Amino acid sequence: MTSYKLVERVKSALHLKKAGHAGTLDPLATGVMLILADSATRFAQYFLGLDKEYIFTIQTGIETDTLDREGKVTAEHPAPFLSEEDIKRVLKSFIGVTLQKPPMYSALKYNGEKLYDLARRGEEVEREFREINISELEFLEYNRPFIKLRTVCSKGTYVRTLCADISEKLGTVGHVVELRRTRVGRFLARGDDSMEFFSIDEALGHFPEMNVSKKEGKILHAGMKIRRDDILTDGYIRIKNSIGLMGVGSVAGSEIKMETRVF
């Protein structure tokens, strides 16, 4: 199921006026997907940059056009016999900030058209490499031709491409056959993949909170800045008053500005 279809299903089931997701999930994949409801949709940008954790399995020796098991086979090589040390040595080379070329089967756009629409017509276009950060890449299991791994990576990382790149460094080709997103930021996958509900204040808990007075709240609500000396670092904060969450603000030095209001 596509991310769009999942959002529409949730929207219909919960009788929502609006719904949107904070990061797509491949149709093949299972696990965590953040869906924002009604007025919470305006806060989507604050979740897009969260690190994600995946557990996935590569099948070596077979390449597909989509880089997953749902695509057409485009190349076959004999699956190599690998040692755990061989695999771990290659995995180390992917740790840190690297450049990755997005796959043709992706929702990125080229001249206003989604890449997967071009790919389905048999067209291939140049894609710019994008900077990603892989903070963890852990070996879990090897049962030839399958390699099971876990990764923690930044926004914009395509695990399908990572599988293909790992396979290439191992001297073969490969594609992803299982993919599960086990974490997005603080949000963990549940064993039964059922829905879990959070208030927008709870969901934004990765930002520190700042309580403001009634006067400060009025100034911020009007779009003006206030000054506070008790905030230690620049970045985003949750701004709260005596009633509850007012919105997300930004801190620059001692100046605070409201960026996105709840109401």
Query: What average pLDDT does range 83-107 have in this prediction?
Result: 95
- The answer regarding whether domain 207-261 maps to CATH 3.30.200.20 reads no
For the stretch 178-227, pLDDT in tens is 999 999 999 999 887 788 999 999 999 999 999 999 999 999 999 999 99
Would you say the pTM of this structure is higher than 0.85?
Answer: yes
pLDDT of residue 233: 86
pLDDT band at 234 (very low <50, low <70, confident <90, very high): very high
Per-residue confidence at 116, pLDDT binned at 50, 70, 90?
confident
Q: Bigger pLDDT: 190 or 69?
A: 69
Report the pLDDT value the prediction gives residue 229, as an integer from 0 to 100: 87
CB 259 within 8 A of CB 244: no
Write the secondary structure of 2-52 as one string of H (helix), E (strand) and C (coil). CHHHHHHHHHHHCCCCCEEECCCCCCCCEECCCEEEHHHHHHCHHHHCCCE
Domains 51-184 and 207-261 equal at CATH topology level? no
Closest CA to 157 of 139, 136, 178: 136
Average pLDDT of the residues in 93-103: 96
Say what the pLDDT of residue 156 is: 92
Lowest mean pLDDT: which of 32-36, 87-91, 104-108? Answer: 104-108
The yes-or-no verdict on residue 3 having pLDDT over 90 is no
The answer on pLDDT for 1 being more than 80 is no
- Residue 123: predicted pLDDT: 86
Beta strand spans in 102-242 (E): 109-110, 113-114, 130-143, 146-153, 174-184, 187-188, 209-211, 226-227, 235-240
Using one digit for the tens of pLDDT, what is the confidence trace for 73-83? 999 999 999 99
Nearest to 104 by CA among 93, 89, 117, 94: 117
β partners of residue 249: 237, 258
Is 90 exceeded by the pLDDT of residue 86?
yes
Residue positions annotated with a catalytic role: 26
What percentage of residues in the chain have a pLDDT greater than 70?
100
Q: Where are the domains of the chain?
A: 1-49, 51-184, 207-261
The CATH number of 51-184 is 3.30.2350.10
Does pLDDT of 67 surpass 90? yes
**pLDDT number for residue 192:** 78
